[in-house]
Amino acid sequence: MSSDLAGHARSWLAQDPDPDTRAELEKLLESGDGDALRERFGSRLEFGTAGLRGELGAGPNRMNRVTVMRAAAGLARVLGPGKHVVIGYDARHKSDAFARDTAAVLTGAGLRASVLPGPLPTPVLAFAVRHLGADAGVTVTASHNPPRDNGYKVYWGDGSQIVPPVDAEISAAIDATGPVSELPLGSPGDPSWNELDDGVVAAYLKAVTALPIGGARELRVAYTPLHGVGGDTLARAFVAAGFDAPATVEAQAEPDPDFPTVAFPNPEEPGAMDLALELAERVGADLILANDPDADRCAVGVPLPGGGYRMLTGDEVGALLGEHVIRQTSGDDRLVATTIVSSSLLGKIAAEYGVRYAETLTGFKWIMKAGEGLLFGYEEALGYSVGSDLGLPVHDKDGIGAALTVAGIAARAKLEGRGLLDLLDDLARRHGLHATSQLSFRVADLSLITGAMARLRATPPARLGGREVETADDLSLGAGGLPPTDGVRYHLAGGARVVVRPSGTEPKLKCYLEVVVPVTGEVSAARARAVEDLDALKADLSEALGL
């Protein structure tokens, strides 16, 4: 173990207020475990547009109280004294402590802090920023990451996540922060430290229950919050909107930072929805709903005609919600938006109704910047923001508002003797069957991803899945007026599309595939053809990538 590494660790130890991470670090120093220290001190968590996210533990490459206090100090420096910040948190390990450390640093720096009244969904925080007229917001959450992780997400005064250059300004201010033990700290009871009550949650519920849900209410719903913080808020929203409270998976109903019943607390992961599917069978549910642990995403499952259930894709739910919002609102300036990796179907729905449509880079921080008049936005990763003629109550993805609106759509369909699958078939008959899928490559060596992207740029494939590549866009050049991002996009004959991009949070190369199959007979035949076409695309793309 180098003396520099040990010195860095001891300097960190001297400022660390947390007995847990102090004990961890003292043990590593005593044992001389250089490898473990290098993991924690050889690099640091980078503050970007997603804020911070990482494994809990001691050192600058971990999430801990020092890292959080430095982030709060950077935010305070960028905002300046007198500004108002709302702070929320989920139920993960250390989330409450990180939230209160943030309030202490902000108030100590001369800012005002309002802390939400307990572990609550991320969309409540996003709503509260605008509701309270704050200058910024912070939520402590790692969304659907593993139990060992936590994170720190920053919102600006418009209630949406920060985008460049604000992230770089905060990062530079963090770098300029000295030892946190020298920071002036406020405390609860200070005039600038406000502990919010349930009134802010009630205001959020009033806003989301005013969404264009429709008038039908008879529906049996099976629901899981996946051990997260969405359960109580969703149940209150359903009852306030006039629905029966959903039947909830008992083993996953209460917040639990260890997520004991799932390998990975993400409704998209295999096995995560097993208990919800079992509950749906027992109660004869008309609809399955799930939130991820911070309840900003919503998963939807539907009964199959021959028995059983299947989960809808994010693109399928996005199409259903998009058409519903368009049909339930009015005005010439309405805008709907999705990302470049989501299905192109929303654009065709928008054209059918004469509504403006926009595509953005991936991430809700970009969707919320799509333009004036935005009433609906979604991304294929189960994120949706639903609005009305009054606008968007939440300028971020909102798993509670989306769940309510999906329930309203399903209840109306049930009243007519139909289901959500019937509505999807209607869309397929009008616009063609739009089928999407993903192909991901996880690597141990990031140079493999760099090499694969370089090959795609140097020699783009002429054909994929038996279809001619009609256009190839290098997204790093800012194709189509979008900000530059690392990725390539291919438009193929017949309306198919492929987007390839490195993941921003994991050592993965992610490929987003779409095919469009005309419906001339039964929709089921088009679905079978789409599966074949997607498989052919995956095979050719795998060969082109060389991974």
Residues 6+ away with beta carbon under 8 Å from 383? 296, 297, 314, 364, 397
What is the torsional sign of CA 58, 62, 63, 65? positive
Take residue 264 and report the two structure tokens written for it. Answer: 């990975």
Are the beta carbons of 59 and 9 closer than 8 angstroms? Answer: yes
The model's pLDDT over 248-258, given as tens digits with 9 standing for 90+, comes to 999 999 999 99
Are the beta carbons of 319 and 348 closer than 8 angstroms? Answer: no
Residues 6+ away with beta carbon under 8 Å from 456? 488, 500, 544, 545
Do the domains 432-545 and 205-429 match in fold? no
Distance, CA of 145 to CA of 143 (rounded, Å)? 6
Distance, CA of 525 to CA of 517 (rounded, Å)? 10
The model's pLDDT over 164-202, given as tens digits with 9 standing for 90+, comes to 999 999 999 999 999 999 999 999 999 999 999 999 999
Burial of 187 (0-12, 13-18, 19+ CB in 10 A): exposed
The model's pLDDT over 201-227, given as tens digits with 9 standing for 90+, comes to 999 999 999 999 999 999 999 999 999
pLDDT-derived band at 545, boundaries 50, 70, 90: confident
Calculate mean pLDDT across residues 362-372.
95
pLDDT of residue 1: 52
Comparing 21-30, 144-153, 296-305, 446-455, the range with the smallest average pLDDT is 446-455
Distance, CA of 32 to CA of 490 (rounded, Å)? 51
DSSP 8-state assignment for residue 15: H
The model's pLDDT over 470-525, given as tens digits with 9 standing for 90+, comes to 999 999 998 888 899 999 999 999 999 999 999 876 788 999 999 999 999 999 99
- Measured CA to CA in angstroms, residue 81 lies from 84, 95, 108, 125, 342 at distances of 9, 25, 10, 21, 41
Give the chain's length: 547
β-strands 467-474, 463-464 pairing: antiparallel
pLDDT-derived band at 50, boundaries 50, 70, 90: confident
Q: How many CB atoms lie within 10 A of CB 453?
A: 20
- 409 beta partners: none
* Closest among 132, 128, 124, 80 to 106, alpha carbons compared: 80
Distance, CA of 299 to CA of 289 (rounded, Å)? 6
Calculate mean pLDDT across residues 433-456.
90
Distance, CA of 108 to CA of 193 (rounded, Å)? 10
Distance, CA of 233 to CA of 212 (rounded, Å)? 19
Whether residue 3 is predicted with pLDDT greater than 80 in this model: the reply is: no
The mean predicted confidence, pLDDT, of the chain is: 95
Whether residue 278 is predicted with pLDDT greater than 80 in this model: the reply is: yes
Residues 6+ away with beta carbon under 8 Å from 27? none
Residues 6+ away with beta carbon under 8 Å from 467? 492, 493, 494, 496, 537
Residues 6+ away with beta carbon under 8 Å from 60? 12, 40, 41, 43, 44, 45, 66, 67
Are the beta carbons of 19 and 28 closer than 8 angstroms? Answer: no
Instruction: Give 518-537 as a DSSP string.
Output: --SS-HHHHHHHHHHHHHHH
Are the beta carbons of 99 and 63 closer than 8 angstroms? Answer: no
pLDDT of residue 382: 97
Domain range 432-545, its CATH number among 3.30.310.50, 3.30.70.100, 3.40.640.10, 3.30.950.10: 3.30.310.50
Give the homologous superfamily in CATH for domain 3-197. Answer: Alpha-D-Glucose-1,6-Bisphosphate, subunit A, domain 3 (3.40.120.10)
The model's pLDDT over 305-336, given as tens digits with 9 standing for 90+, comes to 999 999 999 999 999 999 999 999 999 899 99
Take residue 355 and report the two structure tokens written for it. Answer: 């509504």
Whether residue 49 is predicted with pLDDT greater than 90 in this model: the reply is: no
Give the catalytic positions in this structure.
Answer: 143
β-strands 112-115, 149-156 pairing: unpaired
- Helix residue ranges per DSSP H, 354-391: 364-367
User: pTM of the full predicted structure?
Assistant: 0.95
* Closest among 258, 254, 302 to 280, alpha carbons compared: 302
pLDDT of residue 503: 83
pLDDT of residue 447: 86
- Between 42 and 223, residue with greater pLDDT: 223
Residues 6+ away with beta carbon under 8 Å from 308? 281
- 84 beta partners: 112
Distance, CA of 56 to CA of 59 (rounded, Å)? 9
DSSP 8-state assignment for residue 437: E
The single residue listed with the structure tokens 């509950």 is 279
* Closest among 194, 192, 243, 197 to 216, alpha carbons compared: 243
pLDDT-derived band at 445, boundaries 50, 70, 90: confident
- Measured CA to CA in angstroms, residue 53 lies from 265, 334, 448, 504, 505 at distances of 16, 35, 24, 11, 9
Extents of the domains making up the chain: 3-197, 205-429, 432-545
Take residue 468 and report the two structure tokens written for it. Answer: 């001619």
Domain range 205-429, its CATH number among 3.30.70.260, 3.40.120.10, 3.40.50.10420, 3.30.390.50: 3.40.120.10
Q: Mapping DSSP to helix (H, G, I), strand (E, B) and coil, where does residue 308 land? A: coil
pLDDT-derived band at 446, boundaries 50, 70, 90: confident
pLDDT of residue 385: 98
User: Which contacts (CB < 8 Å, 24+ apart) does range 273-276 have?
Assistant: 273/224, 273/299, 273/301, 273/311, 275/224, 275/249, 275/251, 276/222, 276/223, 276/224, 276/249, 276/252, 276/301
The single residue listed with the structure tokens 């530059």 is 484
DSSP 8-state assignment for residue 116: -
In one letter, which amino acid is 519? V
DSSP 8-state assignment for residue 251: G
* Closest among 309, 374, 320, 382 to 345, alpha carbons compared: 320
